[in-house]
Chains A and B, each alone.
Chain A
């Protein structure tokens, strides 16, 4: 991918591609998470320089796509999370490497509990002026 900014051309493009009626999609961690939500956050290592040459800056970008749903009852929340993640995998655009989905965990955001799982995603990015 040749582009001018990771924000617009990677995270933004990924959020656009993952747009689904099932959840709100954020390119970074929002101030308030309203479930169901999909949040694109950096993974570790975030940027890898694993391509030779330096005439242009080329990096592999590792990201986590966190999917979260309201945790009202276990069976319903898990089913909703599974549907959301399967939908996200189906919407993944060309050029993105899809990894594994982590074990769902319960996280507390504000006064609400969310059931969340992380999907590993990576892509290659070439910076142009």
Chain B
């Protein structure tokens, strides 16, 4: 087959139905599986018992901007921290991951010479759904 290369520039991210690609430097959707290991008489046995997905985002802070992502996240975290926000991440045309993730408290502040940035690790409420078209 031909070599396919997709890059971060192919990604789009919508959080609570708003596209925030313009503020996002990087994003990953990561699974941390919980696999229990049993030492049986016949050797090691493995049982996959749980998954914890996390939506990791590295962002440029936009406090004070119109339709600010950071202000929206702050509001979501302070008003409804137990309500997961819907997200849709398209890694490339035709591959869309949809799920819900809990809001986090944005970090405020930064280093003098640099742009204010923040890294969010948002726990997903369930396994994201991959839609291939």
Question: Are A54 and B9 closer than 8 Å at their CB atoms?
Answer: yes
Chain B positions within 8 Å of A99 at CB level: 113
Q: Is A11 an interface residue (CB 8 A)?
A: no
- Kindly state the separation between the CA atoms of A58 and B60 in the bound complex, as whole angstroms: 13
Which secondary structure characterizes the binding site on chain B? mixed
* Nearest CB on A from B23, distance (A): 8
Q: Count of chain A residues with Cβ under 8 Å from any Cβ of B? A: 15
Chain A positions within 8 Å of B115 at CB level: 97, 124
Please give the residue numbers on chain B whose beta carbons come within 8 Å of chain A beta carbons, in ascending order: 8-13, 19, 21-27, 60, 113-115
Known A52-B13, A53-B9; further 20 A-B contacts with Cβ < 8 A: A49-B9, A50-B25, A51-B21, A51-B22, A51-B25, A51-B60, A52-B8, A52-B9, A52-B26, A53-B11, A53-B13, A53-B22, A54-B10, A55-B12, A56-B22, A97-B114, A98-B113, A100-B113, A124-B115, A126-B22
